[in-house]
Amino acid sequence: MTETLVLDPAQQSSTATKPLLKVEGLSVEFGPKASPIRVVNQVSFEVNPGGSVGIVGESGSGKSITSLAVMGLIPSPPGRIVEGRVEFEGVNLLEMQKSRLPDIRGRDIAMIFQEPMSSLNPVMTIGDQIGEAIKLHEKMSREQRRERIIELLKLVGIPNPEGRLGAYPHQFSGGMRQRVMIAMAVACNPKLLIADEPTTALDVTIQAQVLELMHKIRRTLNTAVLLISHDLGVIADVCERVIVMYAGRVVEDADVKSIFRNPSHPYTRGLLQSIPRLKDERSRLYQIPGSVPLAGTIKMGCPFFARCPDRIGKCAEEMPPMFTVSRSQRSACWVTAGAASEANGGATA
Amino acid sequence: MSTVIQPSALSPDIDQTIAPEPGFRATLMHMIFGRKSTVFAMIVMLIFIVVAVLAPWISPYDPLAQSFLSINKPPSAAHWLGTDQFGRDVLSRMIHGSRNSLLFGLISPALAAIFGTALGVTAGYFGGAVDRIISRLIDLLLAFPELLLAIMIAAVLGGAFWNIIAVITVAFIPGFARVARASTLAVKQEPYVEAAVAVGLRTPTIIVRHIIPNIAAPIVVLMTLWVASAIRLEASLSFLGIGTRAPNPSWGNIIRDGLNNLFGSPWPIIAAGFAITCVVLSFNLFGDAVRDVLDPETAE
């Protein structure tokens, strides 16, 4: 793997070969068992200790469901995980006793949600809400806890933290609430922070501040980050590795440089072309023709077939495996990746 | 409120800092004493409660003593609120009756709120089979009119004090359960509940700390509204001979007795009606204040 940015050398030596989070062949279905709709299909990826991985894709590509599955938060019914493994530090979370999951949530894996406006309980002070996680997972006296909460609020850049402990969420702006959410999430120094579209609901300047804060968290706490976003710019800013999802499948998995310099999958290329650039001569932005297929409508072949500019006959019949394009880039496309892979010598399933 | 605003130069956000919170107790005090209607309501409630507690010592006559020499008298210096058709002093009957009426009027809605909320939250939060079973039970209770249900249970259990409390409580549970269930369904969808799960809280903590405080407002208002219904229901039961037995007074059966003698003397009905109105109104006003305390957005 290309992830060498592990800050703590001790941790690196012990877990360098072992990923912190390893998702393997994860499939999630919704709806009745007789006619299930598969929204996440055979998704695999890894997050190294201290690493940062981004999952990018359009609405409905299954990226949020993937992150919820890692936390064990898929609403069931109607959803269920039908196959795969979610290994955290070598332990398969899916086989773990349900009653033990709360011990891991918040302490080892924490999550930031998309809507800062409604992710905080309106009738609890923010001090109490941050304190809740600490009280749950760490033995601290009331005074120590108060100190810790103030420290966290300082870390996320809330001015006058002592005075704001007793404030309620409605007294904060969206960006400030997202900071409070981040403080809550990192309260117990989690090893993995899952951020599901953390900046989507914020305006652009606040977005940049929140992303800067996530960098700071990574630097100071050495927390691994799994960032879900539909915004390639956000991903480029924070992540070392990128996973591109389309219609519930991983279509490309590469380090961030390869994705931007040398995208392999036609879908990734389409995504990149549709980003507006400053020196753009085009009068119209590129758009990928068509729209994302409804979940569960693709029964065979590549899910991107109908919209793909490079399609060949084989694509309609057989789902391409993940071809190795280069040392740090894998892509699921018969045409572009298949050719590159043959040139390199052999495919990887 | 005296507040100190400390704008921070280091603040990366545009600093819209609001003053440090004055703390829960200060907010509570402000809520209670900051509004005249709330103060008024609390004074009225306090007067009625003191009167009920001190009834044997402050009532001028024996509430049961009859006197054929003074039947259907209008208010006078001797009988402040007049007398009824048996010559009993209306003021003394009102004072003694307040004990029964207030006890029924307060305990039953409170108990119904506790059990009803527990049932409703359980049904709403867990959903599925649990929800179906509880909801059908509630529907079953709702199918009977409150009074019919109360008579049925009272007939089985007998008319002792705690039985009547139980009867009124059971009759009120469905209303609370429905409101609690509907509110829980709405609150359960909120991202902060999901966030609480993600932090590692377990289900009982989530229900107690995140669900119930957010559905408390409608429950509290409902509770204060039903103080009136409870007093009325007790009156109906008394009239039917199940609640407070004549000749013992409660506001309910003072009205019932007075109806038969409306043209002889209207004073029992006027006095009891006024007392019930005052109590109900002051509880409603108090309920509004409590609701506002529970909602931090209005607690400014």
Average pLDDT over residues A166-188: 87
**Cβ neighbours around B41 below 10 Å, total:** 24
Query: Which among A123, A166, A167 has CB closest to B213?
Result: A123
Closest residue by Cα to residue B192 from A189, A61, A180: A180
The per-residue pLDDT for A59 is: 81
User: What does DSSP assign to residue B209?
Assistant: I
Average pLDDT over residues A55-66: 86
Q: Mention every residue, 6+ apart, whose C-beta is less than 8 A from residue B187.
A: B193, B210, B211, B214, B215
The per-residue pLDDT for B259 is: 85
SS3 B253: helix
Whether residue B297 and residue A124 make contact (CB cut-off 8 A), yes or no, is no
Whether the CA torsion A210, A215, A219, A224 is positive or negative: it is: positive
Average pLDDT over residues A314-331: 83
Q: Which helix (H) or strand (E) holds A27?
A: strand A21-30
User: What does DSSP assign to residue B44?
Assistant: H
Q: Give yes or no for A111 touching B (CB within 8 A).
A: yes
The per-residue pLDDT for B72 is: 85
**Cβ neighbours around B16 below 10 Å, total:** 11
Residues in chain A closer than 8 A to B19 (CB atoms):
163
The per-residue pLDDT for B112 is: 94
The per-residue pLDDT for A12 is: 44
Average pLDDT over residues A88-109: 85
CB < 8 Å from B in window 112-131 of A: 113-115, 118-125
d(CA A302, CA A318): 7
Closest residue by Cα to residue A186 from A144, A233, A219: A219
Query: Which among B15, B20, B195 has CB closest to A113?
Result: B195
Half-sphere exposure of B92 toward its Cβ, with a 13 Å CA cutoff?
19
Average pLDDT over residues A232-243: 87
CA angle at residue A127 from A122 to A130, to 5 degrees? 90
pLDDT along chain B (300 residues), means of 10: 42 43 63 80 91 90 86 86 88 91 89 95 92 94 83 79 85 92 92 87 90 89 83 77 79 85 89 88 83 70
A168 within 8 A of B296, measured Cβ to Cβ: yes
Whether pLDDT at A236 is above 60: yes
> What whole-number percentage of chain A has pLDDT above 90?
5
Q: Are strands A241-246 and A52-56 parallel, antiparallel or unpaired?
A: parallel
A98 within 8 A of A73, measured Cβ to Cβ: no
DSSP for A132-172?
HHHHHHS---HHHHHHHHHHHHHHTT-SSHHHHTT--GGGS
Residues in chain B closer than 8 A to A137 (CB atoms):
200
Q: Give yes or no for B300 touching A (CB within 8 A).
A: no
d(CA B235, CA B280): 15
B78 within 8 A of B90, measured Cβ to Cβ: no
What residue in A sits closest to B214 (Cα-Cα)? A123
